[in-house]
Amino acid sequence: MVFMKIAISYLAVMVPVSGLASMEKDTNDDVLWTWSYPTVSAEQRSMFIQRCGLSSRPETASCPFLYSQWNHTWYYIYTSVVKETDALSRVKMFSIVLVTKDFNPEKYEVLCRVFSQNFCRTGSPATMLEAYMSVVTRGTCAMEENGKFSTSDYDVKKAYANSKVKSIIETFGVETIRLYTALLLKKRIVIYYPTHSLQELLTFTRSLPALVWHRQNWGIVYSYMELNDTEIDQLRSCNTYVAGFTDATVESRVSGYGKVA
C-alpha cells in the first residue's frame, strides 16, 4: 500500500496538471461557477469568470480558447456551445478551466476538448473528473471513437516551435532587432492589440521568446493581462516579461523602462 501511494505521487508530479473547473451560462443567461477540483480561491474564481467566453466582453467572447499566466501558473479556458443533442438541456454554453504548471497550448486545448466532449455526452462533471484523474496518475485518458489522449504525444519543444517568428520579421523588418535586443537583455515588453484581436495577441506574445530560442524560456510570457492592481502587482514582481493587453490605456502606464505603473 505504501509503495502504491509513492508510485501515484511520483506519476502525479510528472504530469504538471494542478486543477480543473467548469462554468456555465444557463438558459436565463446567468453565468454560474459550477464545479472545481480541487478548490480554487475566490480571487481565482472571479478572474476565471471574467476571462471565460461566457461573459459579454467582446474580446473573450470571440476567443473560444484562451490561455495566460496568473500567479506563476498557467490557465487554459476552453468554451463550448451546447447542441440540442447534448445532455445539458438547461445550459447554453460552458467553459472548462485547466490549471497547469507548464506552457503547452496545443496539448491542453486537446485535453480541454476531451473534457468538454465527456461533459456534453453525460451532463455530469464526474466524467471530467474521471478523465482528469487518469491524466494526472497515468498521463493518458480515453477519447471519443476509441482514441486515446497521451501527454507524451505533446513535446514542449513543439509548443515552443509553434511560433510565428517569420511573420514578426516580415511585419517589423529591421525593427525586429529592437525586440530581439530587449529579449536578449531580459527587458520588460508590453504588447497591445485591440479587443477584437485577442487571438492575434496570444499568437504574438507566445512567438516572441522564439527570437531567443537558446533560452527556452516561455515562463516570461503573460499572454493576456488586465490593468487591475492584482495583475499589475504580479508584473511588478517580475524582472522580465512579455505581457499582452487589450486595454489601450496601457500605453499611458508604461514607463521608459517598460514597467507598467
- For residue 169, give Cα distances in angstroms to 81, 95, 187: 37, 35, 19
Q: Are residues 77 and 136 in the same domain?
A: yes
Range 216-222 contact pairs with CB under 8 angstroms and sequence separation of 24 or more: 216/157, 216/160, 218/103, 218/159, 218/160, 219/69, 219/72, 219/103, 221/69, 221/103, 222/68, 222/69
Q: Are residues 96 and 131 in the same domain?
A: yes
User: Number of folded domains in the chain?
Assistant: 2
Within a domain: residue 260?
no
Q: What angle is formed at CA 94 by the lines to CA 91 and CA 97, rounded to 5 degrees? A: 150
Q: Are residues 13 and 119 in the same domain?
A: yes
Q: pTM for the complete prediction?
A: 0.91
Q: What is the pLDDT of residues 14-65, one digit of tens each?
A: 668 999 999 999 999 999 999 999 988 899 999 999 999 897 776 777 789 9
Within a domain: residue 158?
no
Q: In the chain, pLDDT over 90 holds for what percent of residues?
A: 77
Res 5: pLDDT: 43
Q: Are residues 145 and 44 in the same domain?
A: yes
Q: Are residues 33 and 136 in the same domain?
A: yes
CA distance 17 to 29: 30
Within a domain: residue 259?
no
Q: Are residues 190 and 246 in the same domain?
A: yes
Res 258: pLDDT: 59
Q: Are residues 138 and 34 in the same domain?
A: yes
Q: What is the pLDDT of residues 139-170, one digit of tens each?
A: 999 987 768 999 999 999 999 999 999 999 99
